[in-house]
Amino acid sequence: MKMLNIVSHSSDGKKCIECGKGYYLTEDFKCSKCDSTCNECEHKATYCELDSLNENKEDVHPIRMAHCNRASADGQRCMRCDDNTYLKDGKCVECGDDKCYGCTEDNKCSVCAKTQEDFFNGIVYLPNNNHC
């Protein structure tokens, strides 16, 4: 059994374990091609990796939504937002407190930091009453 675009497979050679670039692993352990607009994808190719490039190094899937770092394959909905924002109805909404680096849909802060540099260095504190 010849399998294409396989990075690794089971010892008997019948199941894919990891797929190559441009493919994703299906539930039945086969590699399936990503959506044509994606150079990389995950699961059922429901979204592209950030800044997917085609063979000519052209950005085929630019993300044009504010604070969005992962969009749906069609580019219409955000799937993952930047820090200091939360996902609501496919869009990223700012937390409302510039010291808040993790908030929920109801705008309650869960992680605070004095600066972005502190946040990236792990110097954080817990909010008081959901506010920094």
pLDDT over 80 at 81, yes or no: yes
Report the percent of the chain where pLDDT is more than 90: 0
CA distance 76 to 110: 28
Which pLDDT score is estimated for 52?
Answer: 46
- 27 or 3: which leads in pLDDT: 27
pTM over 0.75: no
Give the C-alpha separation, 121 to 129, whole Å: 24
Helix (H, G, I), strand (E, B) or coil at 19: strand
